[in-house]
Structure 1
Amino acid sequence: MMCSDLVLDAETILTLYCRRTRIETLFDALKNTMGAFRFHFWSRYLPRHSRRPTANRHLKAPQAQHLPTVVACWQAMETFVLCACIATGLLQLFSLKYHEGLWKQQVLYLRTRSRELPSENTVRQILAPLLARQLLRSPPKAFWWRINAAVNGDEDDDRQT
């Protein structure tokens, strides 16, 4: 095992290397199940990146007047990924706590049930239609309708039904 940090002892290096598979599994779930890296928070003031990496000495800082826009854009990207991480954790929690009920709700084709606990993707496929149905059935004053009104600019709309 090789390491560029000469201060770490061999046991720490091996421990960190063994955690690599957990991290890669999490990134796979974030990328493929949650779509955590499919954000579209772009700004023309963000520095352009090439597909071919270049040396760091060629990097340019954004101009001072564009700095708040760039910071807000980066903040939006990080918040989007953070929300996807939280959602992934919730899917894992649902899988651990409610796996029997989730398997009973499973209606999509699953080639082989390979384990007792459903994967994040299976839980997402089960919960997505249930959550959408529940949101549409919610009462007029529920949080969902308030969020929807705020997003659409109808904050004064009390949705009387």
Structure 2
Amino acid sequence: MWNQSRTARLHIVVKVKANAVAYERPAVRKKGRGRPPKKGQMVKLIELFHNRAAEFRTATVTMYGKEETVKFLCLDLLWGQGLYQELRFVLVRRGDQLSILASTDLTLAAEDIIRLSGYRFKIECTFREMKQVIGAFGYRFWSKSMPKLKRYLRKGEPHPLEQVTDETDRQRIRLTLQAIEGFVMCSCIATGLVQLIALRFSERVPDLFFRYLRTPSKTIVSEATVTVYLRKSIFRLFAQNLHLSITKIIHSKQDTSFVDADLSAS
């Protein structure tokens, strides 16, 4: 998204822990000495389901591909120890299930925040397929110039990357990060291609159902089934489709001299 200064800014929607606390805005400062307060009264979010139950509104939103009737309460509160950034909190009651959502976008409607949170399951499934099927995060790129990173830094401690001053080492680190990002990007493209094959050719290619599945799908096969099929059949598909650009590139890179020698000897 873009802000008023035309610079890119990313907004997120997350699910908040049940024991999370937030803070009201500080009261108007009174005249006198002392530093102005950064926060107001502490609010235990989980208690609002009972203390302010009468203020909940009812709405019908799309969640997980179907219409759901939920009750919600939307509040703008401060969050974060020492940071006190204003977030939009949405308390959602769906039957007996209680959820607390938060968004960094204060202009987003509560119904939209609830709807966006429903995409979490699809996103998590995509990451699972990328990790377990495609191997998107199995990269092996490293550099001796890369310093050992720390999970937590002490207050005032500089970041290890900031301590790298040699330009050659800095360039090697940049190339390493570019290789990692390129690998993950290609894996994302591969995941999308596998999903497109599953969506478009599940009914046209019965061979996609060749492997044993305890609970086989009658409509669309999984990404894992498509990848197994491609591993077993991709070279045969190349041989049957010599007009493809990828097939021509492979043929141009092959060294066939030893094949000709074997044919002459026979």
- Provide TM-score, normalisation by structure 2: 0.49
1:121 has 2:224 as partner: yes
Residue of structure 1 equivalent to 2:149: 49
Larger Rg: 1 or 2? 2
Specify which structure has the bigger relative contact order, considering alpha-carbon pairs within 8 angstroms and separated by 6 or more residues.
1
Q: If each structure's strand is expressed as a fraction of its own residues, which one has the higher value? A: 2
Amino acid at match of 2:176: C
TM superposition shift of 1:86: 0.6
1:1-161 matches, cutoff 5 A: 1-3=100-102, 5=104, 7-9=106-108, 10-50=110-150, 53-55=151-153, 57-61=157-161, 62-63=164-165, 64-135=167-238, 142-147=248-253, 159-160=256-257, 161=260
TM superposition shift of 1:92: 0.8
Contact 2:208 2:225 (C-alpha < 8 Å) held by counterparts: no
Q: If each structure's helix is expressed as a fraction of its own residues, which one has the higher value? A: 1
Q: Distance in 1 between matches of 2:248 and 2:189?
A: 23
Structure 1: 5+ residue stretches without partners: 150-156
Contact 2:129 2:223 (C-alpha < 8 Å) held by counterparts: yes
Amino acid at match of 1:83: C
Q: Distance in 1 between matches of 2:182 and 2:221?
A: 27
Structure 2: 5+ residue stretches without partners: 1-99, 261-266
Structure 1, 17-26 or 86-95: larger mean CA deviation: 17-26
Contact 2:146 2:173 (C-alpha < 8 Å) held by counterparts: yes
Provide runs of 4+ in structure 1 moved above 4 Å: 134-139
1:99-153 CA distances to partner (integer Å, 9 max, x unpaired)? 12333343322222134100111011111111134457887x8311445x6xxxx
Q: Distance in 2 between matches of 1:95 and 1:39?
A: 25
Q: Percent identity among equivalent residues?
A: 30
Amino acid at match of 2:153: A
RMSD: 2.7
